[in-house]
Amino acid sequence: MKLYSDNAKKAYHDIIGCLIGDGSKNGICGINIVEQFQPEDNSRLSVPRNINAAFLIILSGGDHSKYHEAVGYLEETGNDPLWAPLVEFYKEGLGLLLKEFEDFCSDDGNGAERVKKFLEKMVQNEKLSSPSHEIQEDVWALLHPAASGILNNKEAQLQNLREKRKINITRLNSKPIKNVPKEIVFTTNVLLTVPPAGKRFEDLDIGSSLWNALKEVVKEDQVFWYDHPVQIGVEPDKNEILYGLHHLSEALLYEKKLKNVAEDEELTCVLSASVTHEGLEGIVKEYIEYELEKAHDLPGLKVYLFTEAETGKLIHEILVPAARKYLNNIDNPSALLREVVGVNGKYGRHYSFLKAISAFWQVFIDPCKKATFKIDLDQVFPQKELLEETGKTAFQHLMSPLWGAEGIDSKGNPVYLGMIAGALVNENDIGTSLFTPDVTYPSPPFKGEDSVFCSKIPQALSTVSEMMTRYNKQDIDGNNSCISRIHVTGGTNGILIEALRKYRPFTPVFIGRAEDQAYLLSTLFPTDREPALRYLHKDGFFMRHDKQAFAEEAIKAAAMGKAVGDYERILFFSYYARILPWKIEEIKSVIDPFTGSFVSPIPLNLAYLRLALKAADLFATKEEENEYKSFELIETGSRRLRASNQEVSMGDGEGLKERYEREKTAWNLYYDILDQVENAIREGDQFAIELQERAKKLINNTRVVVGEK
């Protein structure tokens, strides 16, 4: 079944009208949008509210009582240079969203059927002043199917997903990790931004040489957004860098106390530093070294700091000379490698680097390294609770022979558990149990953006089904069977270097959110020669998430930017899935419910509607603080979503495909170089040996001496 243009257009207006209502009663979104449209009010905060409301009203079509007034308002306001960019963003959206919906209704998928089913239900439920839960489920079934049918069937959905993720083990890893400090490279990243507005640089606890530099940096436009970046000059007890490294050191000392690790063992920790403003690139190394010099309690850590400058040296001093020596016909290897080997930019760039650096380490620095494990700096190993509740410390969990095992999945496909993933427990929940989900099911009523896209529902299902699985307590014993993971977090995961070099997974540099979940997509399905690469779910392996304990100010400061990142995520994941060499249906069959929920046939609709409805929800509180937040959301969101849409749709998505293919080529080059150099060193090749010595010197120069002024 297909809906053709006129029918699709009417259907679309009816659906949006159902969502927002017509003044006398709220729509399913639970917000009185008409009340927010007050053209006579032209104060600075009222204008974006009016523009946002006018956009939603126009989307609901000509039958809306305020339609013509809203059209006129956008035309008039668009003539004001101050508001013209925002109006243009929304006016572009009016055409883009309808066109996307028409395509959704006319393709070979089930879009038209979903639309027809919703419209039939809508007719049956004419009284929308108090939308029922059933109506809300109908909206999700149309716009966000991954959220539909879960809340009333939690236990059945849990069991179904767990069965889907079950792996029957055919071979355990005969050479598991035995010595964590010797065999694992720990990695983490710090995201840095300017001091909070209103802070006098002279009052910050930083070196005076940084003051003048910062005064210039704050004049720049922000180019990258992160969840809760460290604000330069923040107090030591709120500094993620010191917090995370201190607790990693404490975890090592705990292992030594139990005689699990020799007293003289040290952890190798690679720390990458990414920045929100380009001008910070020149001072980030000085700042981090200054902070770490003040720390006197990081025994056992060997910290190596990589900024964009250090990754550039890896390329130009080591990788490019090796490529020219050992590989033929590589056109401009420097430019190719610079695209992927680095730490500045969106999340995908530093995330892939922090995995890939361990393979470099194995070849050039220490052949004893067998794996890498990433932590986030707001996460810590709760050693005492781990030992009490699971009988194992953090390092003992990492020594499981399941990491690196082989098996058969629920569809009969061979898999290789070359990656490992633990789970998170919030700091305020750990007193109850480690096995307390850090994401729980939301409760109705659902309002604003949640009425069209409620990611927390499939996220909660995935969290409970995958992360909370305890072996020997279900029909999964941890010896003959286990769980594989699709839903992972940015920290608390690792990969064997053998798997890294064989499968060569990566997150594209255009991915700015959920880089952890995007990492597996590049190698999602098995090849003719190799089984599918998957994450082992290591039951009972938790890190405690402490972000609210010390980074609350940074989290609040980045809240609106994080929300916009979530909208961008829908665009990039949806288009990324389209350029992968498999069918969308096949991809979603593996990555649903949570990761797959961001792969949608109508990503622009979801991104625009979520932005507009979240802004409307904030405006509805009529609190000045929320009005400012809403203004920030709309201003940031319109600018970033417009740029993101241009990025993903360039050449009907071909531009994104070209970037992906180029990055894949670059990573293949990177690992080919390592393979060639490793063989040359083994054969006693003098150039390779000299290259190795140069690499060791370069890496040694990145080491930060902690606790010495």
What confidence tier does 5 reach under pLDDT thresholds 50, 70, 90? low
Q: What is the reported pLDDT for 297?
A: 72
Q: d(Cα 362, Cα 358) in Å, to the nearest integer?
A: 6
**Which residue has better confidence, 622 or 367?**
367
b/e string for 635-666 if b means 16 or more Cβ within 10 A? bbbbebbbebbebbbeeeeebbbebbeebeeb
Average pLDDT over residues 363-387: 97
Instruction: Please compute the mean of the pLDDT values over residues 646-669 and round it to a whole number.
Output: 89
Q: What was the pLDDT predicted at 226?
A: 82
Give the model's confidence band at 709: pLDDT under 50 very low, under 70 low, under 90 confident, else very high: very low
Instruction: Provide the pLDDT confidence category of residue 651 given band limits of 50, 70 and 90.
Output: low
CB burial of residue 155 (10 Å; 0-12, 13-18, 19+): exposed
Q: Per-residue b/e over 62-99, b at no fewer than 16 CB within 10 Å? A: eebebbeebbebbeebbeeeebeebbebbbebeeebbe
Element (H, E) at 535: strand 532-545
Prediction pTM value = 0.93
CA 464 to chain centre: 19
List Cα–Cα distances, 297 to 249, 438, 706, in angstroms: 8, 29, 9
Q: Is the pLDDT of residue 326 over 60?
A: yes
* Predicted local confidence at residue 528, as pLDDT: 76
Q: What is the pLDDT of residue 120?
A: 87
Confidence at residue 433, expressed as pLDDT on a 0 to 100 scale = 95
pLDDT digits (tens, 9 = 90+) for 116-173: 999 888 877 765 455 555 789 999 999 999 999 999 999 999 999 999 999 999 999 9
Mean pLDDT check: name the lowest of 211-220, 345-354, 492-501, 567-576.
Answer: 211-220
pLDDT at site 2: 55
Residue with tokens 């020149």: 282
User: Which phi and psi angles does 123 have, rounded to 5°?
Assistant: -65, -35
How far apart are alpha carbons 696 and 170 in whole angstroms? 40
Q: What is the DSSP letter of 541?
A: E
Q: Return the percentage of the chain with pLDDT > 70, whole number.
A: 95
Query: What was the pLDDT predicted at 617?
Result: 95
444-479 per-position pLDDT tens digit:
999 999 999 999 999 999 999 999 999 987 678 888
Radius of gyration for the alpha carbons in the chain, expressed in angstroms and rounded: 26
Instruction: Judge whether 177 and 396 are in contact, CB under 8 Å.
Output: no
Residue 568's closest CA among 472, 644, 505?
A: 644
Q: Chain-wide mean pLDDT for the chain? A: 92
Residue 652's closest CA among 595, 585, 588, 579?
579
Q: Where are the alpha helices (DSSP H) in 341-482?
A: 347-360, 383-390, 394-398, 456-462
What is the reported pLDDT for 522? 95
Q: How far apart are CA 307 and CA 349, in angstroms?
A: 12
For residue 653, the model assigns a pLDDT of 65
Q: Is a pLDDT exceeding 90 seen at residue 547?
A: no
Pairing assessment for the beta strands 301-306 and 703-704 based on DSSP bridges: antiparallel
Which residues make beta-bridge pairs with 424? 543
Q: Cβ contacts of residue 21 below 8 Å, gap of 6+?
A: 27, 29, 32, 33, 34, 128
CA–CA gap between residue 651 and residue 649 (Å, rounded): 6
Q: Give the pLDDT of residue 216.
A: 86
- Taking the CA atoms of residue 20, residue 22, residue 27 and residue 30 in that order, the dihedral angle to the nearest 10 degrees is 80
d(CA 331, CA 320): 11
**What is the average pLDDT across 21-48?**
89
CA-nearest of 696, 692, 691, 673 to 304 is 696
Confidence check: pLDDT of 228 > 80: no
The residue behind tokens 């089930």 is 110
DSSP 510-530: T--S-HHHHGGGGG-S--SSS
pLDDT band at 3 (very low <50, low <70, confident <90, very high): low
- For residue 272, the SS3 value is strand
Residues counted in the chain: 709
More confident residue, 105 or 292: 105
pLDDT at position 554 is: 64
Amino acid at site 148: S
Mean pLDDT value across residues 214-238: 84
Could you tell me the pLDDT band of residue 1, with boundaries at 50, 70 and 90?
A: very low
